[in-house]
Amino acid sequence: MEADLRPNYFNTWNLLWLEYENIIKAKRISRLELCIRYILSFKEINKIVIGLDSLKHFKEIHNTILKSPITLNEKLDCNDLNLINPTNWKIN
């Protein structure tokens, strides 16, 4: 989501979000495309679970999955369970 729509809970990781936004701009791709294509670049991952909210969103995801994976030189990994585990998110 756009930075101005992101709940304040996620401000702890602003440097990570900034790097994420810089990569999106440099590669000229959507947030969704970066996320999916990056995840698909890991050979250890053979399945992903994605939520969607419309047929349009489904088609966008499907078309993205058909593209080649993206590997990144930039560091986007994070081991903080307060970010990577949605059950820990404190957003109301």
* Contact assessment for residue 41 and residue 69, using Cβ atoms and an 8 Å cutoff: yes
pLDDT tier at 71, thresholds 50, 70, 90: confident
Q: Compute the C-alpha angle 26/23/38, nearest 5°.
A: 120
Residue 92 has pLDDT above 80, yes or no: no
d(CA 83, CA 92): 15
Q: What pLDDT sits at residue 72?
A: 86
What is the mean predicted confidence (pLDDT) over 75-86?
90
pTM above 0.95, yes or no: no
| Residues whose CB falls within 8 Å of the CB of residue 80, separated by 6 or more in sequence, listed in order | 13
Kindly list the distances between the CA atom of residue 86 and the CA atoms of 68, 82, 90, in Å, as whole numbers in the listed order: 27, 8, 9
Which pLDDT band holds residue 61 (cuts at 50, 70, 90)?
very high
Residue range 24-29: average pLDDT?
93
